[in-house]
Amino acid sequence: VGTMNPEEGELRPQLLDRFGLSVALHNPADAGTRQAIVRARLAFEADPAAVVARYAAAQAALVASVVRARAALAGLEWSDAVVQHAAGLALAAGVDGIRADLVMLRAARALAALDQQTSVRVEHVDAVAELALAHRRGENSAGPAGPAGPAGAAGMAPPSGAAQPPSLSSPSPSPSRPSPASGQAAGSSQDAPEGDWGALPPEPQTMARVRSTGAWPPKKA
């Protein structure tokens, strides 16, 4: 598990691909949500034990559902249609390699187990697809993938925030912050091989002939 602020710089695609799923966090846009967060923080600082006790029952129920889902994972398999659907989403997103396919299938199986389903369906893949593709999406991709069926099919809705990719996917240069290539000369920037992300073209350096290195000081007797 890792966190990052895209405003402080982007990670190389090779590193982003190492993360299985990504979630975009946004600041609350309404006053009610901000007040609820602040009140919860103040309550925890005043009496942490009371806050833990207040949510103990819900926490125990969540733990039990996760334990039950882990036990059911081995009995859930992916059909050919599910694997084909995941591959199609990865190709449409323009990702490199097959790590995105593997992450989507494993996340879909985990969701099916958490929902106590007896099989992994295409709807499960659609629900987790954007979490696996958002930070891997290529520049020429078709855009975020939506669910194949109607929303809430089989009582299941996509996770919150899955419809919008995080800001770290396919970053576009900001007007106030030029892209790395903007400071390079037009002729020299074409020398860098296409696809070599982050490479800098060689710059000529002036050299001067050294005629003398100077005399060594005499040693003391």
User: Which residues have CB under 8 Å from 142's CB, separation 6+?
Assistant: 92, 93
Amino acid making up residue 159? P
Closest of 211, 208, 190, 207 to residue 199, by C-alpha: 190
Q: Which residue has the tokens 């995080």?
A: 166
Q: Would you give the DSSP letter of residue 90?
A: H
In 3-state terms, what secondary structure has residue 177?
strand
Query: How many Å apart are CA 63 and CA 57, to the nearest integer?
Result: 10
End-to-end CA distance of the chain: 67
Q: What angle do CA 21, 12, 95 make, to 5 degrees?
A: 55
For helices 80-93 and 122-133, give the axis angle rounded to 10 degrees. Answer: 30
- Is 70 catalytic? The answer is no
Query: How many Å apart are CA 87 and CA 134, to the nearest integer?
Result: 15
Residue tagged active-site, from 12, 41, 99, 177: 99
Q: Which residues are catalytic?
A: 99
